[in-house]
Each structure stands twice: as structure tokens, then as C-alpha cells.
């Protein structure tokens, strides 16, 4: 004996696919992530530590302060949500 009616289960699965198609790609990058990443949206400066990629050193800030600082950028992400039905 099935816990859920097979027809209802098929309709719920179809809803999930429709919702996924509507959301995918429409809002890319609109959710701020707590992680730092490689987008174009500047997040903050931090002090350089050996091993940091030299491409991210802010040379203009170094010219002003004579201290090495690294630019960090906001990581773009998609919001993922799951709905559980009990």
C-alpha cells in the first residue's frame, strides 16, 4: 500500500520541476554569500599573507599606505531551498 497517491506524487514532482525552471538563471548573483569569491562585486580589503595570489594585491592602496593589502570580492550564489512534506 502506497503512502501517497501516485497521481498526487506525480503532480508534486511536476511542480518541483516547474519551480526549478522558473528560478534557475533568473536571479544569479542576487543572493549575498558569506564566503569570499571571484565576482566583480568588491567586498573588502584585508592584509596580504604569503601565498595570496599577487593578482589580487591592491597596488593603488600600497602606493598610498606602503602596506600590502588584498582585495576580496563577494561570492555570488543561488539560493537553494528544499521543501519536505510529511
Domain count for the chain: 1
Q: What average pLDDT does this structure show over 18-24?
A: 55
**Domain assignment present for 42:** yes
What pLDDT does 85 receive? 76
On whether residue 1 sits in a domain, the answer given is: no
SS3 62: helix
Q: Examine residue 83 and state whether it is found in any structural domain, yes or no.
A: no
Q: What is the pLDDT of residue 22?
A: 53
> Measured between alpha carbons, how far is 28 from 60 in angstroms, rounded to an integer?
31
Work out the number of other CB atoms within 10 angstroms of the CB of residue 80: 7
- The domain of 23 spans 6-77
On whether residue 11 sits in a domain, the answer given is yes
Give CA torsion, residues 46, 52, 56, 60, to 10 deg.
60
Residue 82 domain-assigned (yes or no): no
Average pLDDT for 39-54: 87
**3-class secondary structure, 70:** strand
| Residue 46: per-residue pLDDT | 93
Specify the DSSP class assigned to residue 42: E
Q: What is the pTM of this model?
A: 0.44
pLDDT tens profile 55-85: 889 999 999 999 999 998 877 666 677 777 7
Amino acid at each position: 500500500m502506497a503512502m501517497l497517491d501516485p497521481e498526487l506524487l506525480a503532480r508534486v514532482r511536476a511542480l518541483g520541476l516547474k519551480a526549478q525552471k522558473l528560478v534557475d538563471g533568473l536571479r544569479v548573483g542576487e543572493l549575498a554569500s558569506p564566503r569570499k569569491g571571484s565576482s566583480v562585486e568588491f567586498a573588502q580589503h584585508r592584509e596580504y599573507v604569503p601565498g595570496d595570489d599577487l593578482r589580487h594585491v591592491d597596488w593603488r592602496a600600497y602606493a598610498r599606505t606602503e602596506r600590502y593589502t588584498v582585495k576580496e570580492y563577494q561570492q555570488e550564489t543561488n539560493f537553494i531551498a528544499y521543501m519536505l512534506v510529511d
